[in-house]
Structures are given as C-alpha cells and as structure tokens.
Amino acid sequence: MMGPGLFSNIGKRAKDLLTKGYTRDQKLTISTVTASGLVLTSASVKKKELYTHDISSVYKHKNTVINVIMGAESNISTTLTVLEALPSTNLLICVELPDNKGGKLELHYCHFHKNASFATKIGMKPYPVLKISGTVGAPGVALGAEVQYDTAKGEFTKYNAAIGVTKHDFHIAFILSNKGDRIKVSGLYHFDEKHRASVAAEFTKELSRNKNTLTVGGMYRIDRRTKVKARLTSSGRLSALLEHKIKPKSLLTISGEFNTKALDKRPKIGLAFCYSPRPHGSSRSSKFRHHAPEPARLVPEVIYRSLLVS
C-alpha cells in the first residue's frame, strides 16, 4: 500500500469491527443481476412503526459505475463514479431530483505523492458547502486534517484533525473533531498473523458536556466461513453476532442485543440472510466461450433482515 490513505480511513478499522454486521431494523431486499452486470434492487425497511421502500440500480462498465436510487417519496438520486479519471484520481458526481440543490461533487486524489493524499467535496448549490481533507505521512503512519467551509455564512463550520498508526497486528487512531470539542481514541489489535482473533476499543470524550463514552469489542473466526463478534458499551448495551458464509457472497447473520442495566426488558434479536448466486453464464465451460452469448437472464439475490423488539 502506497501513501497514508484518505482522511476518512483513519480509525475506520476499529470502527468496522465495533459496528459492522450488527442489525437493528427489519429489512427485506430482493435483487436481480443480469449477465451484462446490471443489478436491480428493491428494498423495504421497517424502523419502529415506519416503513420505507426504495428501488435502485447499479451498472459498471470498465472504470465507470452508475448508481440510481428512487426513494419512497419519488426522490431520485443518481451517482456517477469514475475510477482513475486521472492518474490516482477518483471522481464522484451525485445529482438528486426533484431537489437539484442536494447534489454534490467529490474528488479523491490518492497517492499523487507517495507521502500525501487529498480529497474534496462541494455541494451543488448557489452557495455550496465545501469540504477539503488531506493526509501526509508514510506507509503505516498518517497525519490528516479536514475543514468545512459554508460559503453562504462565510465561515468555517467544521475542522477536524487525526493521527493514525497502522501496522500488521494493530491500528491506533487519535481524532479531534467538532471544532476541538470531541476527542476520540480508538485501537485495534490482532492476536495472530491470520487475524483470526481481534479486539478493538473506542473512547470518546465531549469536553463541553463532560461526557465519556467507551465501547469495547472482539471478533473470532471459528473457521474460514464462520465468525463471532461481541461488543459492550459504557451505557450497558451488550451485543453479539454469529456470521456464517454459506457460499461466496452468501451470508447468514444472527445478532442480539440487551441492556445489562435494564434486565427486565426483552432482548433484541436480529436475523439477516444474504443470498447472492452467480450471474447466469459465469460458470460455463471454456468450450462454449466463443459461442454467441445467451440472452441475459435475471438471477435473484435475496437479503432478509428481521428484528424482534420488546
């Protein structure tokens, strides 16, 4: 890996171990994939008593990715991503309708120098919000800063700073955010070279409110298809999950959460199932490789998430 990476990557490894995979909503997602690579997805989510539905499509051609999402209120979001638009540069353009002022333009300039990277985001408004971040350092060490400037107010509304150290068996991050009011320290440690067993912790302190938050968690890979995770927060919430890979890109996840300070309440149990078969024709033998391609057929991908709440 060259360079220090993007500012948003500092502290991401510990955060992923502590948050990724845990589910708290009821969600049903059905996707279809054509042989040409077009992915169509219909998703329904229940949060408490509110249901939302959206339809999305993703198409990738060479280094270009187009993602279109239609929300429940007929709002449409279109994102165009061009990978390597220029050497070491990724370009993202997002347009939202009918609110055409909700779009944004992002530019990720990674590894233009072996010791630096740069990213910028600007909204598509008459007086947009401009966000700029940059990192310097060397492989394994990153020092970064991020600022946000509101052109309508004519002032800086956000400035953050971070330091990250990454080695083969650990990752440590120190992040100063919210105009210096929030201090976050996180760490991740792997017990073995294959990263079968790992632990992570994240401590956050808000100076203005004198509030401290601590989250600790761990992950253990039972085998190449199965892993378990657990986490505990300073508020007393204990969560655990079991993830089993049925086959490549097909996962079954069972997660649960309860409040150790309120044992009279029912625990929350989550179930997630993701089934993603190969697109039709991907496994044909080589003797058919030069024959005319068959018409595209839809292959279903079903993702189901449910949550039992008290």
Residue 250 has pLDDT above 80, yes or no: no
| pLDDT tens-digit series, residues 53-73 | 888 899 998 889 999 988 877
| pLDDT tens-digit series, residues 298-309 | 334 444 444 443
Q: Which two tokens stand for residue 298?
A: 């839809």
Provide the mean pLDDT of the chain.
82
| pLDDT tens-digit series, residues 95-146 | 888 776 667 888 887 755 678 888 888 887 888 889 999 999 888 899 999 9
| pLDDT tens-digit series, residues 16-43 | 999 998 877 777 777 778 888 888 887 7
Q: Round to whole Å and give the CA distance between 1 and 88.
A: 13
Can you list the pairs that 38-45 forms with residues at least 24 positions away whose Cβ atoms lie under 8 Å? 38/296, 39/301, 40/298, 41/301
Residue 249 has pLDDT above 60, yes or no: yes
Start-end of H helices in the chain: 12-19
Q: According to the model, what pLDDT value does residue 18 have?
A: 96
In the chain, % of residues over pLDDT 70: 84
Residues 6 or more apart from 218 whose CB is under 8 A from it? 17, 197, 198, 199, 200, 229, 230, 231
Q: According to the model, what pLDDT value does residue 74 have?
A: 73
Q: According to the model, what pLDDT value does residue 281 have?
A: 52
Q: Give the start-to-end residue ranges of the domains of the chain.
A: 7-284+291-308
Alpha-carbon torsion, ordered 105, 111, 113, 119, to 10 deg: 20
**Phi, psi dihedral angles at 103 (to 5 degrees):** -75, 175
Taking alpha carbons only, the member of 98, 26, 37 closest to residue 67 is 37
- CATH superfamily for domain 7-284+291-308: Porin (2.40.160.10)
Sign of dihedral through CA atoms 19, 55, 131, 211? Answer: negative
Question: Three-class SS of residue 17?
Answer: helix
User: pLDDT band for position 11 (50/70/90)?
Assistant: very high
User: pLDDT band for position 286 (50/70/90)?
Assistant: very low
Residue 202 has pLDDT above 80, yes or no: yes
